[in-house]
């Protein structure tokens, strides 16, 4: 049986708190015979996370300068990819699972993260797509393609951590302080900007949870009382 255990955290959380939580949750996923995944949904307090491939040119200077310039926290992240920004109004989803138990490669895991985001966007009538050699999810915007969801993952003892950051309804200006994901300053967008209306985090969570269920072929159970309402419900 495939199960997806979901923990929805209220209020912006620090990057360090979320990382400690992932470590705690990963401890129960060491059994390679147990097809159980854990999904953490949250918003971060303003933070720039520097992935393993972050270069100085992606920050337009030193990390300390970025922190002083923006007032946001700057942290080193033990995941693939370059620098990205997390903040209130972005739905961050951390997916933890044992690759051996689920019989998937890390590349297939990254594809699954993208696919979940694509299916969640589709529930809003938004057509997202992949761009070759650029991990993440993109949408047509003005004046051209813009990234709406960043993907970044790591793996320790076969258990994955980190995941995706879906721009729901947030101030996009902080992205202008960096070269997001080190892609040559490709534009970023948000679900709210694409729809031309305000979008609540709970709306995005209500679309993302069933998307992960479909992609993983799993039944979900909530580990907290903060369960997002299903798409189309009155909640």
Active site positions, annotated: 181
Angle between helices 106-122 and 201-216 (to 10 degrees): 130
Q: How buried is residue 157: exposed, middle or buried, by Cβ count under 10 Å (0-12/13-18/19+)? A: exposed
Are the beta carbons of 206 and 229 closer than 8 angstroms? Answer: yes
Rounded to 5 degrees, what are φ and ψ at 68? -65, -35
**E strands within 100-217?**
128-131, 134-139, 146-156, 159-167
Q: Which residues pair with 155 in a beta bridge?
A: 160
């Amino acid at each position: 049986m495939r199960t997806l255990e979901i923990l929805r955290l209220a209020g912006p959380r620090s990057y360090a708190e979320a990382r400690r939580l992932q470590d705690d949750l990963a401890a129960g996923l060491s059994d390679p015979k147990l097809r159980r995944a854990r999904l953490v949904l949250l918003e971060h307090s303003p933070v720039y996370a520097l992935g393993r491939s972050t270069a100085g040119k992606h920050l337009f200077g030193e990390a300390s300068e970025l922190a002083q310039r923006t007032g946001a926290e700057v942290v080193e992240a033990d995941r693939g990819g370059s620098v990205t920004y997390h903040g209130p109004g972005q739905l961050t989803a951390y997916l933890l699972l044992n690759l051996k138990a689920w019989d998937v490669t890390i590349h297939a895991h990254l594809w699954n993260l993208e696919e979940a985001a694509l299916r969640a966007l589709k529930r809003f009538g938004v057509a997202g797509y992949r761009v070759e050699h650029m991990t993440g999810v993109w949408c047509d915007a003005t004046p051209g393609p813009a990234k709406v969801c960043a993907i970044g993952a790591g793996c320790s003892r076969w258990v994955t951590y980190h995941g995706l950051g879906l721009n729901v309804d947030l101030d996009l200006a902080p992205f202008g302080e960096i070269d997001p994901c080190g892609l040559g300053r490709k534009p970023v967008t948000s679900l709210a900007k694409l729809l031309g209306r305000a979008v609540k985090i709970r709306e995005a969570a209500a679309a993302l949870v069933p998307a992960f269920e479909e992609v993983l072929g799993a039944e979900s159970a909530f580990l907290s009382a903060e369960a997002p309402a299903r798409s189309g419900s009155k909640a």
